[in-house]
Amino acid sequence: MIMAPEDYMAAQGDRLRIVADSEIPFLNGVFEPYASVRYIPGTRICREDCADADVLVTTTRTKCTRELLEGSDVRLIAAATIGEDNIDTQWCRENGIDIRNAAGCNSGAVMNYVFSALYGTASRKSISLKDKTIGIIGAGNVGSKVASVAMSLGFRVLLYDPPREKQEGSYGFVSLDELLEEADIVTLHVPLDETTRSMAGRDFFMKIKPGAFFINTSRGEIVDENALKDAAGKLGPLIIDTWSHEPNIDRELLELADIATPHIAGYSYQGKLNATSMAVRAVARFYSLEPLYEFFPQITIPELKAQQLDLRDKNQGEVAALLQYNYPIFTDDIRLRMAPDEFESLRNNYQLRGEFYTT
C-alpha cells in the first residue's frame, strides 16, 4: 500500500531541506510533499543558502566548493548534469558529502548535435564524407553513441579512451597520436579533470591531420583556445559548443568557428527529462523517499517526441536534409552570433528540442 505524502513524511520524521537550481526543468512540485524546497538560480546559490540545507540539487552553474559548503548541513549533491567539474569532489567526500550525477542523461542529444553539425557543415562547404575516418576521444556514454551511429553511416571509427582501454584491454582502441594522424573528423567526449584539462593544446594540433573537422561538445577547458586559434588555418571546419571562461567566450574564436553554439548540445527534451529524473531518484534513494524511487516527469509534449530516422542507403545530401529537418542547428549558431553577450540567457531560455534516433 502506498502512503499519502503527509503520512509518509510523518513516519519518516523531520522534513528534508532542499536547495535546488531554479533552472532545472520539470522539478517544481516534485519534492514538496516530502521536503522543504527553496528554488534559487544556480549562479546565485550562496553559503547562507546552504547552511541549513540537507541536499543541493544542482547544475554546472553552481560551484560546489569548500567556500560554499564548509560548515553546512549538506550531505548530498544531486547534479542534474553529467559532469562534476564544478564540484570539489575530493573536499566533499573528505567532509561527508556524497555526490551523484546524471551520467548519460543527454548522450542522445549530444549525438544528435554532432551529426547535425557534421553533415550540415559538410553540406555547406561541399565536403564529401564518403570513406572518412572519425576519431572519437572519450568512448563513454556519449562517445559510444557517436561511434555506433558513425559506423551505421559507413564511417571508419577510431576510439581513444585510456580508462576503458586499461579496463578492457587494447583491442578496439588506438593511441592519441594514431587517431590524430588518421582521423578526418576529431570529436571530444571526455570529462574535464586534471588528465584532460588543455589536452587539445599545441602538440595536439601540431599532430592533427590537416583539414580535419574539430568538434568540441565536452568542456571548453579541455581545449587550449589560443592553440586552436593558431591552428585554425590548418584545420577544416570548427564546431564549438563548449568554451573556456563561459559565458565570456572568445570572440575571435567565435568568428573562426563554422558552427558556434552556447553550450546547448545536450539540451534536448528527452535529455532534460532524464536528468531531472536521475537527480530526483538519487535524492529519493539516499534518503529513502520510496514514493520517488522510480520517478519520471509525467509531461508529454507530442511535438517533441523522439523521432526515428532511417538513414540507411541514403546519400550524403539526403542524410544532411533529414538531420537538419529534425535539428536545424544553424538556428542555434545564428542566435549566438547575433548576441554573444547573451550567452547565459541563450542557455537558460533555450527552447528544448526533440531527439532523433537512427535505424
6 catalytic per annotation: no
Q: Which of 182, 243, 189 is nearest to 211 (CA)?
A: 182
Q: Which of 49, 75, 44, 88 is nearest to 62 (CA)?
A: 44
Helix (H, G, I), strand (E, B) or coil at 2: coil
Unique residue bearing C-alpha cell 545536450: 266
Number of H helices, E strands in the chain: 15, 13
Q: Which is the catalytic residue, given 61, 219, 347, 353?
A: 219
Q: Which is the catalytic residue, given 61, 100, 189, 263?
A: 263
Q: Which of 134, 227, 132, 114 is nearest to 174 (CA)?
A: 134
Output DSSP code: residue 4: P
CA 249, 255, 256, 259 dihedral sign is positive
Q: Which is the catalytic residue, given 178, 181, 182, 246?
A: 246
Q: Which three cell numbers stand for residue 258?
A: 563554422
245 catalytic per annotation: no
219 catalytic per annotation: yes
**What residues are labeled active site?**
219, 246, 263
